[in-house]
Chains A and B, each alone.
Chain A
């Protein structure tokens, strides 16, 4: 531990912002690694460290692992294999005993909060509870995006400056005492000076601020995010974490003065322990190691089965003739089963997976939209804008959300009358749910009858510094990239479908997390449609030929959107199809319809309210009903149970039933011998799929501190986030209802390529390499020649021999749906 604790405001604020949650406001919710702050350290160390600092529960606890072991969800041979490989053969027996029998004190203690607890123990004042209510209220009022009828009266200029303006000119005050208010006006007072008053001894300053800010990580994190990304707010606000800390320190002085008068001294005078460096806890304990062994054994119990399935798959089906149609889907784990059903119904078609923005890196502005919204992966900074041109843009209204119900007199008339309408609406919604203005409906993202400005005819066509549409050359690049990275460079079918995806729900504050992650939490309809337009463009096709992709003229691309909640699809620009293709398309519609029914049936096994034994059609109707039911907190289960990411040809996984647990990215190593496209795929897959997976992991293992808890009591705060009740901190992470069926396993990426190529590829980008090297994501390859499986460990690929060799065979996965709602093992599909 350090001995000198000089306080440097910038350094401390930088540290705080590094460790605070990085969750965007609700409308821009994107999955990310909850413990991103620790990502430069190996997973096994990082999670234990985070636990010691902040008191998070970062894995299952001993009792939970042992219960899984009893239920044989952690297999004995794999536990032994993991322990032997980690601890050596000699110590194995001893460690097995430690894992399975030895008693440990499983309590989680934390280093934060140790300093500020002296306020309570010495002065009997519960400073947090008193200060938080007021602080949160001010922050929420200031940042509010449209709930309050009367908004914060001073626009911008920063939080402190706005407060100064108000406090100078009011009969009332946010402060209770004179001194604190005067300190607000004093420009010479900074955080250092306030800390001297409150804490006294400089060596405690940093520890004090960490204690203080991590007593409400939700609000502090939100402020920090808005500070960096002001564009997340439609209603622009200037705010910095420094201002918030300044304000909180003032409020603390204010409340101490009010409660204790002059009877208080800086905290350092009563603290009986030296300052500690809370961010550097001690080394791993034996219990930590035991838990890490359990976690590995838990993960390998599943990975082994999957790798075994791949190794022992039936490799005889090889398609050579031209398929009936080709369909692209997002790599999203929710699309894994619909692809299976489409292929099951039409044996001659082929499906592909690729990130669902289809390489269209752009902003989108719907008709009448006052803003534009990003529809490509979050880290991408688009230079293009696609605009919707439409004659109709229905914005249905619902008076229940109207602010006029909160006035006094007008509202009096409304509440004398509207209430009876409410009663009716509520009854209808309970007994016969249907779409309403309150529903988030993926098909509303873009109007089916609209047109899009996709092609840029003149480079001077700009708006807000963005180029409207793409030039032919830009379009060619994007089409080429998707086709080459997925390996579809020849043998084109007459129809190639591009399925974006989106979700529908009602009463769902986390709706953005249900849409396509590759489209920054928006439905992928615009992207699918734009890509199809580009791929159908005659000049683009000409250019593509020079790049080695010859698309036959009769081949046409069709943009579409798959609603993953309702299992509905919508196609765009069908009227432009050639008569021959229109006929084929009409035939294919039957395939899709049947596949959607079956897909809905498979999904329904997780839904208590649906009788899975009904026919697929009936189950599908019930599934649709869920998406519009106010009382349904689980319209769909989103990414729950995601564990795998498979990058390779369909033949690598097409014969396996993976229970919707896999992100599937099509990739043909033969098209990409030196791994150029693989790099692109992994650069996206590691942070996107890894981020989703880790957010689910952490929200599952500690739903109270790292997740958002049950969504049932959630209260929407300023349209920014949710809190419990009236005066709680913002809740970050995922609500209980999203993660309860999730098994906390890290993502396993399986690539079909030569190990040395994969190794070189991941080493090219240090940011991507860190995910694998520090074990936040697992990596395995199948050597396409030898069919040998190798696993990445400590910087190299080592051969792996799966223990699982025998697999049950299933013909139609919907049969499984009726048997259980639990996670299913790997099956071989006949």
Chain B
């Protein structure tokens, strides 16, 4: 029975790959593949679920494929199936099939018809990997796909400014969730001394024993899981990304941002429930977070005067309540609530254009002029205050940028002198680093212990510098590439992480670096004057090139398409639990390299086209 689980990954995967191969012009075939793949998935789901119910709801776990093994480190794909997966699978299959059928007609003649279905299927693949994942590594693969496909769906109208800006905004907040996930993975490597599967977490004795022994670490892990769940489910204080994600075609917003994607945080909590269920503090925190979200989102939602943001906030508020239900351990209720909320919000968003007819007709026949009420002064003041506060979305959007990203931007600008020449000038130090790696006896233990952190810091600074680069994309590119080398060097000093591991890590970097560099040179040669100070929208003329460059950015950012992804996980497993700063710098580099690269991609290839011989939208549209 469990061998069949892989089918639910294979169907979306085959669908996605097939959809890539169909010529752009052939609308019927493109949507046909999407509808067939999602229909197949729905059909298989229904059959499988009947079988599963007859078998009395067994929990299934299957170690699918070992990708890499070295010592006690093993990277493997693990699939898991229980009630939670079943619910997410069914809701996802129904909604995606309905939306694919819907979009088949709705998207007719839209520029980017194929791109839309490609991205939807890619998203669906990520969704299924995530919900079937049996360990953190598998989960993270799905997680990363969800992040990138979300960016691409929000920026679907890539030749306008706002979708691109908002897509980047959402991506940058998602990136915070990624760091939570990475650190949780890193710490649990050290907690369990192997790549733990979710099935093992159900072993109460083992978990209980570990928790008692490593309480501090367990709390931290739970906290990181909560961070990534809160980010993905638009919980307080990250809620403001959700209404901003409503930039793509209505069906994609309906299915992803008001339903499937935004409930993934809940999934992660349910999936790891047995790990943190005995940590009362964490449960209280989850409950409080849910409560805060439901209050903040309800108030913000009630003053929204645009239909999609109203639905978005209502959805977030309900997810807040679902968080409370999860914290209380009411798994079944949470699952029902998830399914119902997902369907409701999808449908509300899909019919949102009808709101004009409906509400105007209602007003026409039922209008009652409001009589101004005389409130006492204090109440008026509270009402006004709440109104203003809610219209400004509790300042959550400005908060993210003032306190989270701006400090890093400022820091990066401090190092604006740090150019590619200086980076090259550091090569001798790099060589020395390698030399001392082989001859550690020359260095004192203290120096030796400081070296990894220092190297990682250099790498991080390079990334930050790349992140704020406004002029030369090539500089920015190489700085990101170099930083990977510095980080590799930093971790090289740790025992067991040898050249073969480094090779796994850097081989992906090198390939991506070269492909990306060649694409960049190609673009800059034909479009002199292109820099990173604005958006250039070159995908209008260089569609294929933009695809190649995106792939190399993803490769360089450690996306699961090259060995770097594996290398990264491997690398983390060799950062010791007491090397907090090293872990910090490596993680920050990871976050900001993704941001710097996607920013570069967005500025060069997305946004309003600089050439105005054709229709180009207003910046404010």
Q: Do A and B bind each other?
A: yes
Q: Mark A127-153, 1 if CB is under 8 A from B, else 0.
A: 011001010011011001111111011
Partner of B359 from the list A146, A419, A704 (CB cut-off 8 Å) is: A146
A132-B317 Cα distance, complex, nearest whole Å: 26
Tell me, rounded to whole Å, the shortest Cβ–Cβ distance linking B529 to chain A. 14
With A405-B344, A704-B617 as known contacts, state yes or no: A150 contacts B370, CB within 8 Å: no
B305:A141 contact, CB within 8 angstroms: yes
Smallest distance from the beta carbon of A50 to chain B beta carbons, Å? 14
* A629 x B298 contact (CB < 8 A): no
Q: A705–B612 Cα gap in the complex (Å)?
A: 12
Known contacts A141-B303, A155-B370, A395 near B357 by CB under 8 Å: no
Residues of B within 8 A of A719 (CB): 355-356, 359-360
**Interface: B354 (CB within 8 A):** yes
| Total interface residues in chain B, CB < 8 Å | 104
Please tell me which stretch of A260-268, A659-667, A723-731 contacts chain B, meaning at least 4 of its Cβ atoms lie within 8 angstroms of it: A723-731
Contact flags B601-614 to A (C-beta < 8 A → 1, else 0):
00000000001111
The yes or no answer to A587 lying at the interface (CB within 8 A) is no
B615 in complex: contacting residue of A401, A422, A703, CB < 8 Å? A703
The reply on A787 being an interface residue by CB < 8 A is no
Most buried by A among B351, B377, B613: B351
CB contacts (< 8 Å) of A406 on chain B: these are: 298, 301-302, 310-311, 313-314
CB distance from A20 to the nearest CB of B (A): 13
Contact (Cβ within 8 A) B619 A426: no
Q: Is A726 a contact partner of B166 (Cβ separation < 8 A)?
A: yes
A401 to B342, CA, bound (A): 16
Which chain A positions have C-beta within 8 A of B313? 406
| B249 at the A interface (CB under 8 A) | yes
Residue-wise interface mask of A (698-717) relative to B, using a CB-CB cutoff of 8 A (1 in contact, 0 not): 00011111000111111111
Q: Is A423 an interface residue (CB 8 A)?
A: yes
Is the CB of A379 closer than 8 A to any CB of chain B?
Answer: no
Cβ-defined contact, B618 with A718, below 8 A: no
- Residue-wise, chain B 545-568 has the 8 Å CB interface mask toward A (1 for contact) of 000000000000000000000000
Q: Which of A209-229 contact B (CB under 8 A)?
A: 215-218
The answer to whether the Cβ of A55 comes within 8 Å of any Cβ in the partner chain is yes
> Given the complex, which residues of B lie within 8 Å of A67, measured CB to CB?
none
**Could you say which residues of chain A place their CB within 8 Å of the CB of B246?**
713, 715, 725-726
Task: For the complex, count residues of A whose C-beta is within 8 A of B.
Answer: 115
Given known pairs A405-B314, A420-B339, the reply for A715 and B614 (CB within 8 Å) is no
Tell whether A270 is near chain B: CB-to-CB under 8 Å.
Answer: no
Is the CB–CB distance between B344 and A425 below 8 Å? Answer: no
**Known contacts A146-B359, A407-B298: does B340 contact A137 (CB below 8 Å)?**
no
Q: A542 within 8 Å of B by Cβ?
A: no
B365 touches A630 (CB 8 A): no
The answer on a CB contact under 8 Å between A609 and B247 is no
Q: Does A632 contact B (CB under 8 A)?
A: yes
The reply to whether the CB of B576 lies closer than 8 angstroms to some CB of chain A is no
Measured between beta carbons, the chain B residues less than 8 angstroms from A437 are 358
Task: Say yes or no: is B101 at the interface (Cβ < 8 Å to chain A).
Answer: yes
Residue A532, interface by CB 8 Å: no
Known A166-B384, A405-B314, A430-B102; contact A216-B620, beta-carbon cutoff 8 A: yes
State which residues 27-44 of A face B: CB under 8 Å. 27
The A contact surface, by secondary structure, is loop
CB <8 Å contact, A415 and B353: no
Task: Check if B302 sits within 8 Å of A172, measured CB to CB.
Answer: no
| Pair B305/A57 contact, Cβ less than 8 Å | no
Q: Are A172 and B385 in contact (CB under 8 A)?
A: yes
CB distance from B330 to the nearest CB of A (A): 12
Chain B residues, Cβ within 8 Å of A725: 162-163, 166, 244, 246-247, 308
Q: Which residue of B lies closest to A715 (CB)?
A: B308
How does the 8 Å CB contact mask read for A590-614 relative to B, with 1 for contact and 0 for none?
A: 0000000000000000001100000
Q: With the chains together, A438 CA to B385 CA distance in Å?
A: 35
Q: How far is the CA of A423 from the CA of B336 in the complex (A)?
A: 13
Given contacts A153-B383, A717-B305, A740-B109, contact A138 B347 (CB under 8 A): no
A113 to chain B, nearest CB (A): 9
Contact residue among B101, B109, B615 (Cβ-Cβ distance under 8 Å from A702): B615
Decide: A709 near B621, CB < 8 A? Known: A129-B165, A398-B358, A719-B356: yes
Q: Considering the chains assembled together, what is the distance between the CA atoms of A437 and B294 in angstroms?
A: 30
Interface residues of chain B: helix, strand, loop or mixed (majority)? helix
Interface contact A400-B165, CB-CB below 8 Å: no
Task: Write out the residue numbers on chain A whose beta carbons fall within 8 Å of the beta carbon of B353.
Answer: 507-509, 711, 714, 716
Cβ-closest chain B residue relative to A147: B305
Q: Which residues of B contact A729 (CB under 8 A)?
A: 618, 620-621
Q: Give the docked Cα–Cα distance between A411 and B250 (Å).
A: 23
What CA separation (Å) do A509 and B307 show in the bound complex?
12
Among B195-203, B217-225, B388-396, the one that faces the other chain is B388-396
- Report B-chain residues with C-beta under 8 Å of the C-beta of A430: 98, 101-102
Question: Could you mark each residue 306-339 of chain B with 1 if its beta carbon is under 8 Å from any beta carbon of chain A, else 0?
Answer: 1111110110011001000000000000001101
Q: Contact at B620–A710, with CB atoms within 8 Å?
A: no
Residues of A within 8 A of B108 (CB): 608-609, 633-634
A412 to B314, CA, bound (A): 10
Residues of A within 8 A of B618 (CB): 215-217, 704-705, 729
When the two chains form their complex, are residues B340 and A415 in contact, meaning their CB atoms are under 8 A apart? yes
- Contact at A724–B621, with CB atoms within 8 Å? yes
Q: Please indicate the chain A residues that have their CB under 8 angstroms from the CB of B347 in the complex.
A: 400, 422-423, 425-426
Q: A27 to B357: give the CA distance in the assembly, Å.
A: 8
Contacts of A710 in B (CB 8 A): 110, 157, 249
Which A residues lie within 8 Å of B253 (CB)? 713
CB-CB under 8 A for A153 and B621, given A408-B317, A418-B344, A632-B105: no
Residues of A within 8 A of B392 (CB): 134, 137, 172, 174
| A415-B341, A420-B343, A729-B620 known; A400+B351 contact, CB < 8 A | yes
Q: B492 an interface residue at 8 Å Cβ cutoff?
A: no
Q: Which residue of B lies closest to A424 (CB)?
A: B343
Q: Does A234 contact B (CB under 8 A)?
A: yes
Nearest CB in chain B: distance from A529 CB, A: 20
- Report yes or no: A726 in contact with B243, Cβ–Cβ below 8 A: yes
Residues of B with C-beta under 8 A to A608: 27, 108-109
Q: Is the CB of A507 within 8 A of B359?
A: no
B595 to chain A, nearest CB (A): 18
Assess whether A109 is interfacial by the CB under 8 Å rule. yes
Whether a CB of chain A sits under 8 angstroms from the CB of B295 is yes
Known contacts A509-B353, A723-B306; is A145 also within 8 Å of B363 by CB? yes
- The answer to the question of A417 belonging to the interface, with a C-beta cut-off of 8 Å to chain B, is yes
Whether B496 sits at the interface, judged by CB under 8 Å, is no
Q: Does A803 contact B (CB under 8 A)?
A: no
Q: Are B157 and A724 in contact (CB under 8 A)?
A: yes
- Check: B103 CB closer than 8 A to any chain A CB: yes
Contact assessment for B387 and A166 in the assembled complex, using a CB-CB cutoff below 8 Å: yes
Please measure, in the bound complex, the distance between the C-alpha atom of A415 and the C-alpha atom of B309, giving whole angstroms.
17
Is the beta-carbon distance between A713 and B157 smaller than 8 angstroms? yes
Please measure, in the bound complex, the distance between the C-alpha atom of A395 and the C-alpha atom of B359, giving whole angstroms.
11
25 A-B pairs within 8 Å (CB atoms) are namely A108-B613, A128-B619, A140-B305, A146-B362, A153-B387, A155-B370, A169-B384, A215-B618, A370-B366, A411-B318, A412-B318, A417-B340, A419-B339, A630-B350, A631-B105, A705-B615, A712-B250, A713-B247, A713-B248, A713-B250, A714-B353, A716-B356, A719-B356, A727-B244, A729-B620
Residues of B participating in the A interface, judged by any CB pair closer than 8 Å: 27, 94-95, 98, 101-110, 156-157, 160, 162-163, 165-166, 243-244, 246-251, 253, 294-295, 298, 301-311, 313-314, 317-318, 321, 336-337, 339-348, 350-367, 370, 372, 377, 380-381, 383-385, 387-392, 611-621
Residues of A within 8 A of B (CB): 26-27, 55, 57, 61, 63, 106-109, 128-129, 132, 134, 137-138, 140-141, 144-150, 152-153, 155, 166, 169-174, 215-218, 234-235, 366, 368-371, 373, 393, 395, 398, 400-401, 405-408, 411-412, 414-420, 422-423, 425-427, 430-431, 437-440, 506-509, 511, 608-609, 629-634, 701-705, 709-719, 723-729, 731, 737, 740
Query: Can you name 4 extra interface pairs (CB under 8 A) apart from A711-B353, A729-B620?
Result: A608-B27, A724-B160, A727-B244, A737-B109
